[in-house]
Amino acid sequence: MDPVITLNAVDYAIIGGYILVMILVGYSLKKYMKTGEDFFLSGRSLPGWITGLAFLSANLGALEVIGMVANSAKYGIATVHFYWVGAIPAMVFLGIFMMPFYYGSRVRTVPEYLKLRYNEATRGLNAISFAIMTVLMSGISLYAMALLFKLMLGWSLTGSILFAAAVVLLYVFWGGLSSSIYNEVIQFFLIWLGLLPIVFLGLKEVGGFAGFVAKLKEPLLHSAKYLGTSNNPLGVDWFGVVMGLGFVLSFGYWTTDFLVVQRALASKNINSARMTPIIASFPKMLVPIIVVIPGLVALLVLPEFSQSALPSTEYNSALILLMKHYLPNGLLGLAITALLASFMSGMAGNVTAFNTIWTYDIYGSYIKKGKPDAHYLKMGKYATVFGVAISVGTAYIVQSFPNLMDYMQLIFSFFNAPLFATFLLGMFWKGATGWGGFFGLLVGIFVAAGHYLLYKLGVVHYASDMAANFYQAWWAWLADFVVTIGVSLFTAKRDPKELAGLVFGLTPKPKAAARWLARPAVWGTLAIVIAIVLNIIFW
C-alpha cells in the first residue's frame, strides 16, 4: 500500500529518538527492580503529580486519540460527555472516597481488595475477567498504532503490530510499572505538543471559532440540547447518558479498573494516592481541545468527510488525514511520535496491569502459593512476555469494529459496569456478604452477555451501537446490584470488626493534610464545579 504521507530524515530522527529514550528509561530502571513491589507498584514511592499525570495518560491511549477524534466526527460535541460527565465525577469520587480503602488496606491489586471484603471466589472471578479485559484492551492500542503506520507509512498491519509489541515488551520487562509511568508522563506532554498545531491550523482555516460554529450543523454543536430527540447524533437519551455513561460506565471504569488504580497505588503516601485521580481530572477536562475540535474540523475541511453519510470505517482515519492535510515535515514527525507514545503507553498500561493481576491474583493464589518474592518477580517478567504475545492476537479482533470507542465501551459494559455495583455495595454497606458479591458479579457479567446477544440478533433495538453499550452497562450494573443484595440477605454476614478498613463507616477517616490547599476534598470540589460550568457553556 502506498503511504498517505512521506516522511523525511527529520521525522524519522524524532520517532527514532523517542523510541531510544523509551528503551533507555526502561533499561536504566532495571537495577532498581529488586522486589515484587518495586516491579509491580514502583515501590510505592512516587509523588502525586507524577502518578496523577500517569493516571491520566494511561487512559490517553488509542481510545482518546484516534477513537475520540472519530467519535467527534461521528457524534459532534456530544463527545464531551465522555469527559465532563463520564470521567470527572468518578475520578473525584475515587480520590475522596475509595482510595482510602485501596491504599489504606495495603492491597496490591483490586481483586485482592475483593478477597478481603468478600471472599476468594469473588477475587478469582474478577481476576480472571480482568485479565481477559486487559489483553482485549491492549489489542486496541496495538491495532490503532498499526492502522496509523499502515495508512501513513505504508507498513503492513502485522509488521507494525510486531514492532510496537517488541518495544513495549523491552521497557516493561526491564523497568516494570515505573518505566510505564515515566513513559506516560513523557507521553502527556508529547501528545499536546503533537496535536495542538492541528487544532490551531484547523480553526484558522475555517475562520476561527465564529467560522467553526457557522459552518457546522446545529445538532453537532450542542452536548445536551438534543438528547432524546431525532436530531441527536449520539442516539442516546438523558437516562442513557446520565445513568449508563455518567454513573455505571464511568464509575465502573475509573473506580474499579486496576489499570488506573495501579498508578495511585504507586504513590508515596495516602494523601498522594487520593490526590492522584483529582490532579488528573484537571487536564482531563481539557483533552476535548485536542480530540473533539479536530474531529469537527475534519467534517469541514476534508473532502473524504464531505458526504452526508460516511462509511463507518472512515471515522477512524479522521486524525490521520488531518495530519496529512496540515502538518509539514518535522511537525509531522512530532505528531506521529505523540501518537506512537499514546498507543504504546495504552498497551503498556494494560500489560503492567495484566502481569500484576496474573502474578498475585491467579498464579500466586491458585497455582503456586507461598513462594519467595523473587519467584513472583520472575513470574511477573514471564507474564509480561505472555501478555504482549496475547495482545498481538487480540489486535486483530479490533478490525471487525469500525469505531474504536464503540469497542471500548462494549468491553467496559461487560466487565467494569457490574463490578462497580459489587464495589459500591462492598464499600458502603456492611451487610454485603461474600457469596452475595460473587453471585452478583457473575450474574451481572451474564446479563451483559445476554443483552449483547439480543442486540446482535435484533431482538432489542437502539439508535446506535453506543446507545446499546450505555444501556447494556446499566442492566449489567442493576442485575449485579439486585442479586448482591438478594443473596446477602440470605447468607452469613461477617463480624463488623473484620470489616474495619474495608467498609465506609467502619474505617477511620484519613487524617486531613495540614494545609487546606493539599486536601483532596478542596481540589475535588473545584474540579466538579469547573465540570458543571463547562457542561452549561456547551449545553
Which whole number is the average pLDDT over 122-148? 85
Which whole number is the average pLDDT over 270-277? 92
Is residue 404 within 8 Å of 313, Cβ to Cβ? no
The predicted model scores a pTM of 0.85
Which whole number is the average pLDDT over 390-417? 79
Q: How high is the pLDDT of residue 421?
A: 94
Q: How high is the pLDDT of residue 239?
A: 83
Please, where are the H alpha helices in 395-519? 404-428, 434-456, 465-489
Kindly list the distances between the CA atom of residue 425 and the CA atoms of 20, 429, 437, 473, 481, in Å, as whole numbers in the listed order.
46, 5, 8, 17, 8
Cβ-proximal residues to 306 (8 Å cutoff; 6+ apart), any chain: none
Pairwise pLDDT comparison (61 vs 356), residue with the higher score: 356
**What's the pLDDT band for 63 if we cut at 50, 70, 90?**
low
Question: What backbone phi and psi angles, to 5 degrees, belong to 267?
Answer: -70, 160
Question: What backbone phi and psi angles, to 5 degrees, belong to 169?
Answer: -60, -45
Calculate helix-pair angle for 258-265, 110-117, nearest 10 degrees: 90
Which whole number is the average pLDDT over 445-462? 92
Residue 441, pLDDT > 90, answer yes
**What's the pLDDT band for 444 if we cut at 50, 70, 90?**
very high
Query: In angstroms, rounded to a whole number, what is the distance separating the alpha carbons of residues 31 and 262?
Result: 21
* Residue in this structure with the C-alpha cell 530522527, named with its chain if needed: 13
Return the CATH number of the domain spanning residue range 9-537.
1.20.1730.10
Query: In angstroms, rounded to a whole number, what is the distance separating the alpha carbons of residues 504 and 485?
Result: 17
pLDDT one-digit tens code per residue, 456-477: 898 988 877 878 888 899 999 9
Residue 312, pLDDT > 60, answer no
Is residue 410 within 8 Å of 394, Cβ to Cβ? no
Residue 68, pLDDT > 90, answer no
Q: Give the CB-side neighbour count of residue 205, counting CA atoms within 13 A.
A: 18
Residue 219, pLDDT > 80, answer no
For the CA atoms of 183, 187, 189, 193, the dihedral, rounded to the nearest 10 degrees, stands at: 150
Query: Would you say how long the chain is, in residues?
Result: 539
C-alpha cell at 290: 485536542
**What's the pLDDT band for 126 if we cut at 50, 70, 90?**
very high
Buried b (16+ CB within 10 A) or exposed e, 13-46: ebbeebbeebbebbeebeeebeebbbbbbbbbeb
pLDDT one-digit tens code per residue, 251-269: 988 998 888 898 898 898 8
Residue 231, pLDDT > 80, answer no
Query: In angstroms, rounded to a whole number, what is the distance separating the alpha carbons of residues 248 and 420?
Result: 7
Which whole number is the average pLDDT over 195-220? 86
Q: How high is the pLDDT of residue 1?
A: 54
**What's the pLDDT band for 202 if we cut at 50, 70, 90?**
very high
Is residue 420 within 8 Å of 256, Cβ to Cβ? yes
Residue 84, pLDDT > 60, answer yes
Share of the chain above pLDDT 90, in %: 33
pLDDT one-digit tens code per residue, 498-511: 888 888 888 777 67
Query: In angstroms, rounded to a whole number, what is the distance separating the alpha carbons of residues 328 and 297?
Result: 18
Widest CA span of the chain, in angstroms?
A: 69
Kindly list the distances between the CA atom of residue 45 and the CA atoms of 152, 177, 353, 477, 502, in Å, as whole numbers in the listed order.
40, 12, 18, 35, 23
Which whole number is the average pLDDT over 293-317? 73
Q: How high is the pLDDT of residue 368?
A: 92
Is residue 52 within 8 Å of 280, Cβ to Cβ? yes
C-alpha cell at 222: 450542542
Cβ-count burial of 505 within 10 angstroms (0-12 exposed, 13-18 middle, 19+ buried)?
exposed
